[in-house]
Chain A
Amino acid sequence: MKSMIFSIILKKLKDALTDLLPIVLVIAFFQIVVIQQPLPQMGEVLFGALLVVVGLSLFIQGLEMSLFPIGEAMAQALARKGSLFWLLSFAFALGFSTTVAEPALIVVAAKAADIAGQGGLIDPSEESLKQYAFGLRMSVAFSVGLAILIGVIRILRGWPIHYMIIGGYGLVMAMTTIAPQEIIGIAYDAGGVTTSTITVPLVAALGVGLASTIRGRSPLVDGFGLIAFASLMPMIFVMGYGLFIFR
């Protein structure tokens, strides 16, 4: 028993080491061959790398024990309960609550407010900058909640994903042409920062769990796609927010 646990731990560590090897190689190559300067604080860097390897293997282990099973179990229990209202509330709350306090989003929102203030698009006083950043955060969080909700309805109804995503892209393209220049870069990036490391496994498990519970849905064709909605919707909302504020 003991030796089995030991060998599992060893395997996880080895996997994590393989995952991180490319980064180490890239940095070593550029430091030694291209930049040709000694690595600053070699000891600290090695210590940090050790933490990264241990952390990644712990995270992957925990993923299989907690986030994956609970996501699927919740999806199945809610589907079996048969209440559309509660299923959709769960979907919206999951998207909204995990995004609203996301540190990356807070940083991007504050930066966006600064740019808008400097560009003279909004009143550059601290109060109005804060208000702008808050509004931006809320609209992104709301849009992610809405995205997961729409994605869940899609799984239930079995709608083909490509019409919805292409429609969404079409909307993004159309809005790009009329949205203020300053907001476009931020809007595109907002799509990327909303899906955090903890949310992604949970949302993936939710989609796959739902699609495997409902008859006639394939987990591969219908179960994925929630993350795509969660990265598309914020772009539309941030540009919409930009249009609404600056007009």
Chain B
Amino acid sequence: MEFIKDFIEILLATCRDVLPIVILIAVFQLLVLRQKIPDLPRLIVGSICVVLGLALFLAGLEKALFPLGTIMATQLSDPAFIYGTDAVITHIDWKAYGWVYLYAAMIGFAAAIAEPSLIAVAYKANEVSAGTISTWGLRITVATGVAVGLSLGTYRIVSGTPLYLYILAGYLIVIVQTFFAPKSIIALAYDSGGVTTSTVTVPLVAALGLGLASTVPGRNPALDGFGLIAFACLFPIIAVMGYAQLMDWKTKRSRKNNGVT
């Protein structure tokens, strides 16, 4: 019974998210474009699938994944687990947090693979590139970027170094890469930074950030708990451009080796 109540709540919240879009499209179709909406029945069935699917997805995540994610984040960042003693820790050893970095990387990778908006963008990219950009290739590249970003982000919380230094350095890398990466990938690479951070990744990452910031001595959850999402946004951009550069370089080299210019 409890679950049905929760599910209806989530379903209503999803409907509320869709409502502005429905109103906007209806207003524009009827008042501005003054035309009938093409293939309306299919559209309605599709929209019901989107709302129902997203609500089920979120309800399942809240039931299964998020509680586990929170428990695991607390267990892994618990000083008793990390240092193996119950004594009060005064000195932070960043090397002791190895499992935390590994967990951050792996959960970041896995969450990005499951992220519906990344699936949507990868699907579109595959369609408009006429198959040159493979759906899985893009998703795995982006997920690898999230993995690297998050383990670096957790290291930052443990070591207490200032956030802006990392972000500024990351932006510098992005800017330099932009001048060397193939032009066709740049817009997509920038976009992949924004898509990794929605339904699945944000709650898992937020739990990890807050868990760490509240157990590592000397960290303030209010200040240090933020910023992990920024890492998850920045590194996919670097990963996608880097991968495109690598592929570009490989093709050029194999052409050279074959004597074709």
Contacts and interface: CB of A to CB of B under 8 A. Distances in A.
Interface stretch (A34-42, A123-131, A132-140): A34-42
Nearest to B62: A48
Contacts of A231: 193-194, 233
Interface of B: 13, 16-18, 20-21, 23-25, 28-29, 32-33, 35, 37-39, 42-65, 67-69, 71-72, 75-76, 81, 99, 103, 106-107, 109-111, 113-114, 116-117, 119-121, 123-125, 127-129, 133, 163-164, 167-168, 171, 174-175, 178-179, 183-184, 186-188, 190-191, 193-195, 197-200, 202, 222-224, 226-227, 229-230, 232-233
Interface string A175-215: 01100011011101101110111111110110010001000
A223 B57 contact: no
Majority secondary structure, A binding face: helix
Given A165-B190, A222-B187, A67 B50 contact: yes
Nearest to A163: B178
Nearest to A71: B25
Residue of A60, A66, A111, A195 contacting most chain B CB atoms (<10 Å): A66
A200 B121 contact: yes
A100 to B, nearest CB: 8
Contacts of B123: 63
Contacts of B16: 101
Contact of B175 (A166, A199, A224): A166
B163 A73 contact: no
B12 to A, nearest CB: 12
A77 interface: yes
Given A49-B60, A188-B229, 15 more contacts: A22-B109, A48-B63, A52-B64, A56-B114, A59-B54, A65-B43, A65-B45, A73-B38, A74-B28, A97-B20, A98-B20, A161-B190, A188-B230, A208-B124, A226-B191
A227 B20 CA distance: 18
B113 A228 contact: no
A63 B65 contact: no
Contact of B59 (A55, A172, A220): A55
Contacts of A31: 68, 72
A102 B198 CA distance: 11
Interface in A56-70: 56-70
Contacts of B226: 185-186, 188-189
Interface residues of A, number: 107
- Top 6 A-B pairs ranked by shortest CB distance? A48-B64, A65-B46, A62-B49, A66-B46, A58-B53, A55-B56
22 contacts: A19-B119, A20-B114, A49-B64, A51-B64, A58-B52, A63-B116, A66-B49, A69-B39, A70-B43, A78-B28, A100-B20, A102-B17, A166-B175, A166-B178, A185-B223, A185-B227, A188-B233, A198-B50, A201-B117, A212-B128, A225-B190, A228-B193
B48 A197 contact: no
B114 A192 contact: no
A101 B133 CA distance: 34
Residue of B125, B168, B226 contacting most chain A CB atoms (<10 Å): B226
B167 A188 contact: yes
A31 B113 CA distance: 20
A77 to B, nearest CB: 5
A212 to B, nearest CB: 8
Residue of B60, B171, B199 contacting most chain A CB atoms (<10 Å): B60
Contacts of A2: none
A90 interface: yes
Given A195-B198, A201-B117, A51 B128 contact: no
B46 to A, nearest CB: 3
Contacts of A176: 164, 167-168
B171 A161 contact: no
A192 B202 contact: yes
A95 B108 CA distance: 27
A103 B52 CA distance: 18
Interface string A24-54: 0111011100110101100011111111111
A224 B17 contact: no
Nearest to B224: A185
Contacts of A245: none
B34 to A, nearest CB: 10
Given A48-B63, A221-B187, A228-B194, A37 B75 contact: yes
